[in-house]
Every structure is written in structure tokens, then in C-alpha cells.
């Protein structure tokens, strides 16, 4: 309730797209929209375009502006190989004790549920260290 007018549905369609390196313009977005609507029409046998009452496009430039994700990337570095998931950055810094990371680009991976799990892992890690981050070489890291 509240996401769509009475008697209507709220659809979320996600199209995975590369990070923003300047390739997104109005024509590119319009072409992607047409392609998706055509696929929905072919798959469901229904033309949903005239039924769309409200629409919002979250392209990589918009995602980057709203979330501060680097170049609007949802998942961090490119995931173009079967090994990409195993090469994600860990949730901790190898040299700076007490420095932890969370988000879609670190273990366990992208998407809201995994990013939240990543935050939980980082929070648990924070409680396991002393008061000042220390480099393995023995130098103290700068603290805010």
C-alpha cells in the first residue's frame, strides 16, 4: 500500500549496466527502455507501456550522485568472470588493524542484502580491536 494507486501494481525492473565512464546519455537510456519494454511485451504477451503511470530511471550517474558509489557502480569492480566473487576486497585492511570496510564491492558482495551483511561483518570486526589502528610495521595510522 502506498507504492501504487489502488488497483495498480508497483513493478521494479533492474537492468544491470556498467559503471559510468561518460557513456550514458538520453538516447542510450531511451534505447535501453525501449529494449526492456519490448522484451516484457514478448515474454508476457502484454504491452505494459501504456499502463505505466509513474516511472523513475536510476542510471549509473544518478546512482553515483545519490549514493556516492564510485561511477554509479552497484557491485564495485566488474564481475565479468566466474572468479570475480572470490577476488572481492576483504572486509578489513590487511595492514591497518581496526580499519574495516563494508558495501557492495567487498565480501560477501553486491546487492542490498549482501551489503547489509557486509556491514554486520564490519561492525563485529570493529569490536575486536584496541583503541588505535596500528600498521603491521608498528607505525600508528592517522586517526581522526
Report the alpha-carbon distance of residue 31 to residue 41 in Å, rounded: 15
- 61's CB contacts (< 8 A; 6+ apart) are 20, 24, 72
Q: Which residue's entry shows cell 556498467?
A: 18
Residue 142 pLDDT exceeds 50: no
Report the alpha-carbon distance of residue 39 to residue 48 in Å, rounded: 11
pTM score, whole prediction = 0.58
Report the alpha-carbon distance of residue 66 to residue 59 in Å, rounded: 11
Residues 14-56 pLDDT 10s = 888 888 899 999 999 999 999 999 999 999 999 999 999 889 9
* Assigned C-alpha cell, 133: 589502528
pLDDT of residue 45: 97
Q: Which residue's entry shows cell 514478448?
A: 42
Residues 96-140 pLDDT 10s = 888 888 777 777 766 666 777 778 888 887 766 555 555 555 544
Residue 122: other Cβ atoms inside 10 A: 18
> Which among 113, 96, 95 has a CA at the least distance from the CA of 104?
113
Give the domain ranges of the chain.
1-72, 75-144
What is the average pLDDT across 76-92? 73
pLDDT of residue 29: 92
pLDDT of residue 122: 81
* Assigned C-alpha cell, 117: 551483511
Residues 65-75 pLDDT 10s = 887 777 888 77
pLDDT of residue 141: 47
Amino acid at each position: 500500500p502506498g507504492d501504487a494507486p489502488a488497483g495498480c501494481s508497483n513493478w521494479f525492473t533492474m537492468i544491470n549496466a556498467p559503471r559510468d565512464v561518460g557513456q550514458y546519455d538520453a538516447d542510450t537510456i531511451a534505447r535501453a527502455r525501449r529494449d526492456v519494454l519490448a522484451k516484457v511485451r514478448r515474454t508476457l504477451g502484454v504491452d505494459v507501456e501504456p499502463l505505466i503511470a509513474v516511472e523513475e530511471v536510476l542510471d549509473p550517474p544518478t546512482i553515483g550522485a545519490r549514493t556516492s558509489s564510485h561511477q554509479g557502480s552497484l557491485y564495485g569492480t566488474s564481475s565479468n568472470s566466474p572468479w570475480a566473487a572470490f577476488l572481492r576486497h576483504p572486509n578489513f585492511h590487511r595492514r591497518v588493524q581496526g580499519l574495516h570496510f563494508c558495501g557492495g564491492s567487498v565480501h560477501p558482495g553486491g546487492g542490498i542484502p549482501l551489503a547489509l551483511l557486509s556491514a554486520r561483518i564490519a561492525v563485529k570486526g570493529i569490536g575486536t580491536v584496541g583503541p588505535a589502528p596500528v600498521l603491521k610495521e608498528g607505525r600508528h595510522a592517522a586517526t581522526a
